[in-house]
Amino acid sequence: MDLFLQQLINGLNVGSIYALIAIGYTMVYGIIKLINFAHGEIMMFGAYFAFIFATSFGMPIWAVILVPMIIMALAGVAVEFIAYRPLRDAPRLSALITAIGVSLFLQNLALLIFKADPKVMPKLFPETIINLGGVEISSTTLVTIGLSLFFMVLLDLYIRKTKQGRAVRAVSEDKDAAILMGINVDRTISLTFAMGSALGALGGILYSVAYVQVFPTMGVMPGLKAFIAAVLGGIGIIPGAMLGGFIIGMVETMTKAYLSTTWADAIVYIILILVLLFKPTGILGKNTREKV
């Protein structure tokens, strides 16, 4: 039982990071029906900026977290404006190929700037171990889960309670009707990219703290798993991305603990195949008819 509870905590830790990254995928898909494969690289650059601010500038912890989030929010807006906005009315395949191209460009840009050797992320949070009935929980794990839940709840409140949040939902539901209602669609889409990129950067920072290293391709695997989490929960649905992230984190952790570490990634991909076969809309998604 102690082992199970320990792995449960570890699963929550990893799942909260996947959930943060998955939200970026699902927000962008929900509003412009684009799978932004460059989102993993946004996460990676967020981790690099946090590393630089923590090691070279000696910034306080709050600045090491918030400043990269702001920078990557602006970067997300720039990527949308330069790469995706000109293709908004183009076939979806063109936008998808562009997203893959942006991903490769950002990876190679990081390789050019930071070189291939991994950087060791310093401990951002004071490390203490809390023992609860034989279950050990580190302070870093608690901070990771706490920060993730805080920003998820903050985003959910923003989307549901604010005027701009309602505009995001309106554009996601029906862009043409939103235009008729006087909503600035371009600004709303840019805001969506900014919020998704900021949360992706936070996910990258927490991921690099958990796994210690920062390197140019670090966003590939967590990015893919976050995408699977978004599909599992229901792509385009924010609560679904959160749910999917926690489920994927739990599955991966339990697989490593009770089966084999070599099977962890395979089982995650098997989940994606099963979801696409039996419930392609995801756990919280609903089947909708589309007129041809």
Domains of the chain and any CATH numbers: 2-115+134-278 (1.10.3470)
pTM exceeds cut of 0.75: yes
Nearest alpha carbon to residue 191 among 24, 44, 34: 24
Average pLDDT, the chain: 89
Nearest alpha carbon to residue 227 among 70, 47, 22, 79: 22
pLDDT at res. 1: 67
pLDDT at res. 292: 42
Length of the chain: 292
pLDDT tens-digit map of 61-108: 999 999 999 999 999 999 999 999 998 888 888 888 999 999 999 999
- Residue 8 in 3-state DSSP? helix
Taking the C-alpha atoms of residue 248 and residue 232, their distance in angstroms, rounded to an integer, is: 9
Residues of the chain with pLDDT under 50: 290-292
Nearest alpha carbon to residue 172 among 31, 24, 14, 5: 31
Task: Write the DSSP string, 33-65.
Answer: ----TTHHHHHHHHHHHHHHHHHTS---HHHHH
Residues forming beta bridges with residue 119, ordered by sequence position: 214
Cβ 202 vs Cβ 20: under 8 Å? yes
pLDDT at res. 72: 96
pLDDT at res. 198: 95
pLDDT at res. 200: 93
Cβ 12 vs Cβ 145: under 8 Å? yes
Tokens of 85: 């906005």
Task: Write the DSSP string, 103-156.
Answer: HHHHHHHHHHHH-SSPEEPPP-S---EEEETTEEEEHHHHHHHHHHHHHHHHHH
Tokens of 3: 């082992």
Q: What does the buried/exposed string (b/e) look like for 207-220 if buried means 16 or more CB atoms within 10 Å of the residue's CB?
A: bbbbeeebbbebbb
